[in-house]
Amino acid sequence: MEYLGQYKAVYKAKAGCEDILAKSQDGGIVTAMFAYALETGIIDGAIVAGPGAEPYKPEPMIATTVEELFASRGTKYSVSPNLALIKEATRSYGLDKIGIVGTPCQIQAVRKGQLYPVGLRDVPDKIALALGIFCMENFPYQGLFQMVEDHCATKIDNVTKMDIGKGKFSVYTERGVNSQIPLKVTHKYEQPGCHVCLDYVANMADISTGSVGTPDGWSTVFVRSAAGEAAFNKAVEAGWIIAESMDGVKPGLELVEKLATEKITKNQKYLEHRAHKEHAALKPLRNPYT
């Protein structure tokens, strides 16, 4: 399964705690894992996408309590530069064991920082738990705002949840109104930088999680590294996470792999296009992978 990265195990899972699930995007895996890791000392702080100055505009924050973690539940389909805090966490915050959640590109940055710490003194050995979330693409805040306010005709202040799934972008409000738009409408708002990304399920994370593959309210979880496996198994044992086999789950890993393949194939093509081999008149554009 080259499109899904290396992993030791894959589960259908959700948080064991109703409080966490109440406002979680899917199965509450990230919140539950970090809460468990904080409570048991696997980490002493987690870099998460907290609430920002405007609704659904994420702002990276360092959570050192479960209450602070709760404030960061839910997907915000916009850019949260979580890596901006990676060094500060070891400085004025005084952390020794850092948890960090991020999209595939952010987990790549974490790993690159660990192996090639340019200006990241004392960071490499302080990353204790890197949780990755599946990511097809992201949007700049202005793009997201336009999708919600113009295309979905919904005031962004009233939105309680946003979701991309089944070919649609959906927004939900507290009063039960929801609107949907087809994903093809959103394409022009995507961050251009997402179009060269060759990672769908956060291949470099200790544990990756996302909604695709499992029913609503559940998450698909890849347990990848030894550190991830140890933490995840203990969290399951302690009841913070309920994990079940993926066997027979619909739509299951097949769909995850299909989407991963689509993303990687499409973006690989775009990378090849940037090389402009077919038009001698066009100079090739930089390729970060070569």
Q: What tokens were used for 12?
A: 């259908």
Cβ-Cβ contacts under 8 Å for 247 (sequence gap 6 or more): none
Contact with other proteins (CB under 8 A): which of 2, 84, 91, 215?
Answer: 91
Number of residues located near other proteins, criterion CB under 8 A: 13
Nearest distance, CB of residue 38 and other proteins, angstroms: 12
C-alpha 263/C-alpha 137 separation (Å) is 9
| Residues in contact with other proteins, shown as a per-residue x/- string from 2 to 41 under the rule CB under 8 A | ----------------------------------------
- Span of 88-96, 179-187, 200-208, 245-253 interacting with other proteins by CB under 8 A: 88-96
Closest to other proteins by CB, 93 or 172: 93
Q: Report the amino acid identity of residue 69.
A: L
The conformation of residue 74, written as its DSSP 8-state character, comes to: S
Q: Are 241 and 32 in contact (CB under 8 A)?
A: yes
**Site for other proteins contains 44 (CB under 8 A):** yes
- Contacts with other proteins in 55-84 (CB under 8 A)? 64
Nearest distance, CB of residue 120 and other proteins, angstroms: 11
Give the CA distances from residue 174 to residues 57, 95, 177, 178, in Å, rounded to whole numbers and listed in that order: 18, 37, 7, 9
Q: Angle between the 226-237 and 29-40 helix axes, to the nearest 10 degrees?
A: 90
Closest to other proteins by CB, 44 or 199: 44
Contact with other proteins (CB under 8 A): which of 121, 155, 269, 276?
Answer: 121
**Site for other proteins contains 90 (CB under 8 A):** yes
**Site for other proteins contains 125 (CB under 8 A):** no
Closest to other proteins by CB, 90 or 208: 90
Cβ-Cβ contacts under 8 Å for 207 (sequence gap 6 or more): 29, 33, 129, 131, 132, 221, 222, 223, 224, 225, 228, 231, 232
The conformation of residue 39, written as its DSSP 8-state character, comes to: H
Nearest distance, CB of residue 231 and other proteins, angstroms: 21
**Interface contacts to other proteins, rule CB under 8 A:** 44-45, 64, 88, 90-96, 121-122
